Amino acid sequence: MLQTYSYQDLSAGEIAKLISRNADEDQTIGQRVEGIIAEVRSRGDEALKALAEKFDGVKLDKLFIEKAEIAQIASGIGAEQKSAIDLAYGNITAFHAAQKHQEAPVNTMPGVTCWREPRAIERVGLYIPGGSAVLPSTFLMLGIPARIAGCKEIVVCSPPQKDGLINCYLAYVAMLLDIERVYLAGGAQAVAAMAYGTDSIPRTDKIFGPGNQYVTRAKTLIQSTTQTAIDMPAGPSEVLIIADEGANPEFVAADLLAQAEHGADSQAILVSSSSALIGETIAALERQLAALPRVEIAAKAMANSYAVLTADLEKAMEFSNQYAPEHLILATANWKELIPSISNAGSVFLGHLTPESAGDYASGTNHTLPTSAYARSYSGVSLDSFIKKITFQHISPEGVHQIGRAVEVLAELEGLQAHKNAMSLRISSVNS
């Protein structure tokens, strides 16, 4: 069920191979995505309709649903589901609203004042995955900070359902976020449409949202060939659980499977200082897996997963930092002691009673996170993801006296006479 490795017996090369994931070694995915992007660029809406028929099995007459129809679809939501979404909406809003603040100006020296001010990215594109699972939670995670940031236009793309529409949960979230239209496009083609624009779908300044390897590849390609930015490479989901002998194997197994059921290319890693805990977790996995509705998907992901036995939690943390997981669970009563050792992780879940699924849905933190070891250099989505910070500076006459000569000297040593002149003229002006 879960192949187990001894950390102390692994060479550096073996560890590097073990932590590698979602590699497109033969460039098959890259070539297919390049073809999809080229088709959308050249044929626009017609390509999107053809690709929806090919990949989603839906023949579309139009590529969007407008506000009135969204409201009609949303009316089908049940009271309990509505209440759960409302709770998540409130918690996610509270967490992201707290990130909004204005930095104080800094007087770097007398007469020289510098500061930064945030400005919302004007038009953002949100990709909400569909396929085998529809994710209203992702809609909340992306739409809420976009609204708080003040983005003027929010373009939402999500794959059409078999009836050519969206489901009532996405529709209800669209109403909460006051979204005018939802565009019926999925996969790499949705990313291409938001990067280049079509007759129906506007070009956006930045694209957000997780997806499979095709979506992730499309995002990285468009970032290098257009003026459209991306949030991060956020591909197939993953979790790494550090567990000691005090962990509950049933909890650990459930957390591993929670990631595995996302998709066949997901990965769930157990790192433990207890061989007994690993054995008990494997037994629990076999019991719990058999009862899952998405058993086939989860089983494929678990076949791509493994366990690592370490001498202690310090070594477990060492392996985790090399893996750089999207989600890190510390299934130990001693989690406070491990926090300072965490250097690479997207989001961290502490203790025995904090499942990763709480962060996926309703605790308030964002679940759009870096995968495939990108947690070494990327943060998850936050309010900052939807804004730019512009620097300002003002120099008074006193400031010219204070800073002027230093600017002249630095310009001279770089051989840039016009730079020097720009300051020299001002020195003369305030001295006259």
CA distance readout (Å), 358 to 17, 92, 355: 31, 12, 6
The CA distance from 388 to 13, in Å, is 40
| Catalytic member of 326, 394, 398, 419 | 326
Q: Look at strands 112-120 and 106-109 and give their pairing.
A: antiparallel
Please tell me whether residue 236 adopts helix, strand or coil conformation: coil
Q: Which amino acid is at 397?
A: P
> 9 is written with which tokens?
């017996």
Hunting for tokens 């992901």 — which residue is that?
A: 301
The CA distance from 320 to 19, in Å, is 9
Hunting for tokens 């020299």 — which residue is that?
A: 424
Q: Is 327 marked active-site?
A: yes
Task: Confirm if 216 and 370 have CB atoms less than 8 A apart.
Answer: no
Q: What residues have CB less than 8 Å from 414, skipping those under 6 apart?
A: none
Closest C-alpha among 307, 297, 237, 300 to residue 269: 307
The CA distance from 128 to 156, in Å, is 7
Neighbour tally for 77: CB within 10 Å: 19
Residues in the chain: 432
Closest C-alpha among 147, 292, 259 to residue 208: 147
Closest C-alpha among 158, 99, 94 to residue 86: 94
In DSSP terms, 153 is beta-bridged to 123
Task: Confirm if 85 and 167 have CB atoms less than 8 A apart.
Answer: no
Neighbour-count burial of 402, counting CB atoms closer than 10 A to its CB (0-12 exposed, 13-18 middle, 19+ buried): middle
| Catalytic member of 327, 352, 356, 412 | 327
Q: What residues are annotated to the active site? A: 326-327
